[in-house]
Amino acid sequence: MIYEIFKKIYSKYRKNIVYFLPIFIFIFYGCSSADAANKIYFNSDRDGDFNIYSIDSTGENEAKLTQSQEDDVSPIISPDRDKIAFVSGSGKDKSINVMKNDGTIRSVISNATTGFTSSTSSPLWAPNGKNIAYLSKQPDRDQINIVQVDGGGTIRLTTLNGREIGDWSRQNNTILFSVIEKESIGIYTRNPDGVNQFRLTETADYNAKWSPSADTIIFLSMRDGNSEIYSMTSTGKSQRNLTNSEFNEHSISWSPDGKNIMFVSDKDGNPEIYIMDSTGGNIVRLTNNDVRDDQPVWSPDGKQIAFVSYLDGDAEIFVMKSDGSDQRRITNNDFHDSDPAW
């Protein structure tokens, strides 16, 4: 389509190509960028094993990106939307792979069979796109590592037993992670080079996420007996319960503009998707189904949300506007389509 537009304009204005060259460049790169921003990546077991797929937010142009005889799951798109990191393998033999967003040039960046590592999971891109943090399951503990995507080497982030990697600040200078060891339990920050480690909480807290401005952190906590959403400053001060419910919340995320927080809660009988403002007020329920709605992710511009719903008994990918309107199914089959990444 882009090529046809270019050809028509060139044939009409080829004598003035110097003057119209900037227009050609804008059309090519502008359309390419828009196309990339409209792609949703997910995994599906429709061919037996799980593989990675892409699809437009309109439900068009679905493509199978991996052809593995083992499971490829949990796709995460790079900040420039040019590459995809994902987990490949089964059982204890799992590794982190990276490929181009069209499924080409695939490589293994963390080998599950190297050293004492039995399994790797949870890849998280650095904002600069040069590194990936991931969780490595060792015989006696879970270890958080950072690897250079170009193959430049791997470093260990912390000696603590890592429960999970929470988030990487947009400034590229701090990683949030949580620890499960009783004497060290809580949320920490650390420089990705492995220096300046600070403990922010001392209770069963996890899933910490930086606000876009990096001055506020939201996280999940079990300190009241169930999973609730809390906030705190970047230094761990002013910890506050935002949801104050008797039910469980999960899958939290900031909107791209930092004004809203999206989450899943079962407070109305089954898991549904909600948003609230950054201070915990104005909670709005976005999905209203008798089945589970889960795994919501924002579009890059924050105007839409992709999510998983079990309307047919199996997981399908849906898209809606950020206010919950215009809900549309974009995959429709008898298999399990999940883990959308936008």
4-10's contacts with Cβ under 8 Å and 24+ in sequence apart are 5/31
What are the pLDDT digits (tens) for 43-70?
999 988 999 999 999 999 999 999 988 9
The pLDDT assigned to 194 comes to 86
Q: What percent of the chain has pLDDT over 90?
A: 73
The pLDDT assigned to 172 comes to 84
Residue 112's contacts (CB-CB under 8 Å, 6 or more residues apart) are: 89, 92, 93, 94, 95, 118, 119, 120
The pLDDT assigned to 111 comes to 64
Residue 76 and residue 88: Cα distance in Å, rounded? 13
Residue 195 and residue 228: Cα distance in Å, rounded? 30
- Going by pLDDT thresholds of 50, 70 and 90, the confidence category of residue 116 is very low
The pLDDT assigned to 25 comes to 44
Residue 84 and residue 149: Cα distance in Å, rounded? 11
The pair of structure tokens assigned to 89 is 């393998």
The pLDDT assigned to 5 comes to 46
Residue 24 and residue 1: Cα distance in Å, rounded? 14
Residue 1's contacts (CB-CB under 8 Å, 6 or more residues apart) are: 31
Among 31-40, 74-83, 236-245, the minimum mean pLDDT is found in 31-40
Q: How many CA atoms lie within 13 A of 272 on its CB side?
A: 18
| 298 vs 6, higher pLDDT | 298
What's the full length of the chain, in residues? 342
Residue 35 and residue 45: Cα distance in Å, rounded? 25
- Going by pLDDT thresholds of 50, 70 and 90, the confidence category of residue 138 is confident
- Going by pLDDT thresholds of 50, 70 and 90, the confidence category of residue 27 is very low
Q: Span 247-255, mean pLDDT? A: 97
- Going by pLDDT thresholds of 50, 70 and 90, the confidence category of residue 142 is confident
219 residue type, one letter:
F
Residue-wise DSSP of 109-169: EE-TTSTT--EEEEEEE-TTSSEEEEEEE-SS-EEEEEEETTS--EEE--SS-EEEEEEE-
As a whole number of angstroms, the longest Cα–Cα distance in the chain is 74
Number of H helices, E strands in the chain: 2, 28
The pair of structure tokens assigned to 155 is 């470093």
- Going by pLDDT thresholds of 50, 70 and 90, the confidence category of residue 26 is very low
Strand runs (DSSP E) across 11-105, as ranges? 39-47, 49-56, 63-64, 72-77, 83-90, 93-100
Q: For 229, phi and psi rounded to 5 degrees?
A: -95, 130
The pLDDT assigned to 114 comes to 44
Tell which residue, 72, 127, 81, 118, has the closest CA to residue 100. 81
- Going by pLDDT thresholds of 50, 70 and 90, the confidence category of residue 2 is very low
The secondary structure of residue 204, as a DSSP letter, is S
In terms of Cβ atoms closer than 10 Å to its own Cβ (0-12, 13-18, 19+), residue 239 is: middle
Among 43-57, 104-118, 268-282, the minimum mean pLDDT is found in 104-118
